Amino acid sequence: MRTRPLIGITADRTMMGPHASHVSGEKYLLAAVDGAGALAFVLPALGERQRASDILEAVDGLLFTGSYSNVEPHRYGSQASETDTLHDPHRDATTLPLMRAAIDAGVPVLAICRGFQEMNVVFGGTLHQQVHAVAGYTDHRENKADALDRQYGPAHTVKLAEGGLLQQLAGNARDVQVNSLHGQGIERLGAGLVAEAYAPDGLIEAVIVARAATFALGVQWHPEWKHAENALSTAIFGAFGDACRNRMLARTPRAKHA
């Protein structure tokens, strides 16, 4: 009998030389293993080759990761992509239907950065393709020339929704410091999503699925980065891991009494 829940972690499809490959950042894997107390398995971006129902039968939770790629604009009814935008249609074809199926089936979901944007698109929301180019918003991108610790260092505060899940996980704090490494962001909030945090410029930074049967949280920042050194990140992965563990236990046949 397993003692740890199994978390599927989304992968990007990328080319390694002439070979198509499926990769997921180690920081997400370590956060799932050490932060959520789970077994981590990389979920390839194979689209319809692997049915969502079969995936959901195999896992106890799903972690939708960040990525250098962005959701294709046609997925949310927008115009053509801005110049030099990286896309991953294989990932879109995998994660978008899978996320909705997971939430409908009561499978715990944690969505980070691109995953957060995927969550908004899944529920019918739209995205700003370049937040920094929209009047009233600041530049939320990192400087890729900086060392990683600086890129992932605290960038701005987010105001937490009163009485929301994140405020509870943050020990009832009103605001917290987060990192910021994204160029895109929520334009119109998806139906059925509730904003959990806002950046100082008003950009939505976290959401929950209002009627989800279990944990279903999306955050724009990266709590997986050195998660054990940040109280809120620790709490997020702890709560996600608990939800996945509860699903595992609920699906484990009880031993028959003699």
First and final C-alpha spacing in the chain = 19
Active site residue 244: no
* Residue pointed to by tokens 């909030």: 189
Pick the catalytic residue from 128, 224, 227, 244.
224
Cα distances (angstroms) measured from residue 134 to each of 75, 153, 189, 201: 20, 24, 16, 11
Pick the catalytic residue from 22, 90, 113, 142.
113
Residue type, 161: A
User: What 3-state class would DSSP assign to 101?
Assistant: helix
- Distance (Å, rounded) from C-alpha 143 to C-alpha 152? 10
- Distance (Å, rounded) from C-alpha 99 to C-alpha 157? 28
Active site residue 222: yes
Pick the catalytic residue from 205, 222, 227, 244.
222
Active site residue 82: no
Cα distances (angstroms) measured from residue 97 to each of 123, 170, 185: 11, 31, 20
CA-nearest of 237, 228, 131 to 180 is 131
Q: Could you give the residue numbers annotated as active site?
A: 113, 222, 224
